[in-house]
Structure 1
Amino acid sequence: MTRHLVVITAGLGRPSSTRLLADRLTAATREQVAAQGATDDLDVQVVELRDLANEIAQNMVTGFPGPQLRAAIDATTGADALIAVTPVFTGSYSGLFKSFFDVIDKDALTGTPVLIAATGGTPRHSLVLEHAMRPLFTYLRAVVMPTAVYAATADWGTVPADGDAPLATRITRAATELTPYLTAPAPRPAPAETLTPFADQLAALAPQE
């Protein structure tokens, strides 16, 4: 059975460090899924919010999504797992990132596993993951991975002599936490309850002649 991983990236530039981080998280997740020997196919779809900016703004005003936004929303709400990455603006997630999740029904992501990540110019903004992103997805009742990944400009530098790059370590750990949701057997649907019509229940309580 094919599992669907949707990667949402809110980077504005091209190239974008936000997209780069998203790609590295995706690659690490693919590696971890392969390491588990999973036989299921993994389908990955990347949603670039930059390309949906106009339709997101129009939807905020009209309440109706355009065709590209509708497809992105359907992919996101139908995913088996999400990787969500935003740049940090003014100490929080970007307005484009928040607006996309604002146009999604608040119950549509209930139970969806989410790996959260962010990029910024300085390590001082790393707490955006805990004071902004994690509460957002908790409100949406998603299942947020314990490890969140933040990449500052300095994290893209050279690898230390011991080869243990902190960013690479966090990426691997986060991907490892997300992988079980993409490799575990799909839960079987609960058997349908057999309901006794109310009239029959009353009849059973009636005195027997």
Structure 2
Amino acid sequence: MKLVVVSAGLSVPSSTRLLADRLAEAVRVAVVGKEPDEPVETEIIELRDHAKDIANTFVTGFPPPKLEEVLEHVTRADGLIAVTPIFSASYSGLFKSFFDVLDQDALTGKPVLIAATGGSPRHSLALEHALRPLFAYLRAVVVPTGVYAASEDWGGEGAADGPLASRMSRAAGELASLTCGTGSRPGPPRDAFEEVVPFAEQLAALRGEE
């Protein structure tokens, strides 16, 4: 199983990357629990490292080689975890820009776990009114449980086995069920040009009809 994790955290270290790492590990544990012989290959993509390339792609229309490779990894993944900080009650601009330059068919049928971080629990609904509609538009299969982590979720007693840990475990189990289920993994997008008939053959066919 190829699991790709997209993190839109801006600082180093960041709570967004921390949540991304925790979710990736939770999914790995859930997959092993369902399919003990299933190896899980995890790749973490830090969008902050590709911010300039993402911006340039908007201008030129063509992603640079490094960004193109990242986009390909997301497209080929069996499952995706997408984590963003919440700014002004929505996903970050960097997060949205990345999925804007991704091919519109890349996530079709792909299992996706959505997650976000923020300073206040008041922003938790951003998962439902911002992230879920975005991935529904991209025709991804979004797991029922979204994971939001406020600053207060990381400290104090019960952080390791409290509500946040419970949400992560439940969401990870849902993603594992989709990626390990029979026939659930999406195949690579079909190349629209694979079946194009060369012009010379089309012309020969027309002449033959005449």
Q: C-alpha displacement at 1:164, in angstroms?
A: 4.4
Corresponding residue of 1:183: 180
Q: 1:148–1:187: structure 2 CA closer, same or farther, 3 Å change rule?
A: closer
Q: 1:187–1:85: structure 2 CA closer, same or farther, 3 Å change rule?
A: closer
Corresponding residue of 2:17: 19
The answer on whether the counterparts of 1:80 and 1:181 sit within 8 Å (CA) in structure 2 is: no
- Equivalent in 152, 157, 162 of residue 165 of structure 1: 162
Q: Deviations over 1:60-108 (max 9, x none)?
A: 1110101111011000011111000000011100000000000012122
2:167 and 2:128 mapped to 1: Cα distance? Answer: 15
Q: C-alpha displacement at 1:40, in angstroms?
A: 2.2
Q: C-alpha displacement at 1:187, in angstroms?
A: 6.6
Q: C-alpha displacement at 1:157, in angstroms?
A: 1.1
Aligned identity (percent) is 60
Q: C-alpha displacement at 1:39, in angstroms?
A: 1.3
Q: C-alpha displacement at 1:116, in angstroms?
A: 0.1
2:163 and 2:139 mapped to 1: Cα distance? Answer: 29
Give unpaired runs (5+ residues) of structure 2: 186-210
Residue 143, structure 1, aligned to residue 166, structure 2: no
Report SS of the residue matched to 2:157: coil
Corresponding residue of 1:154: 152
Q: C-alpha displacement at 1:186, in angstroms?
A: 4.8
Q: When the two structures are superposed, what TM-score results if normalisation uses the length of structure 2? A: 0.84
Corresponding residue of 1:31: 29
Larger radius of gyration: 1
1:94 and 1:151 mapped to 2: Cα distance? Answer: 15
**Stretches (4+) displaced over 6 A:** none
Corresponding residue of 2:104: 106
Corresponding residue of 1:5: 3
Report SS of the residue matched to 1:182: helix
1:37 and 1:110 mapped to 2: Cα distance? Answer: 24
Q: When the two structures are superposed, what TM-score results if normalisation uses the length of structure 1? A: 0.85
Q: C-alpha displacement at 1:37, in angstroms?
A: 3.5
Report SS of the residue matched to 2:103: coil
Residue 174, structure 1, aligned to residue 171, structure 2: yes
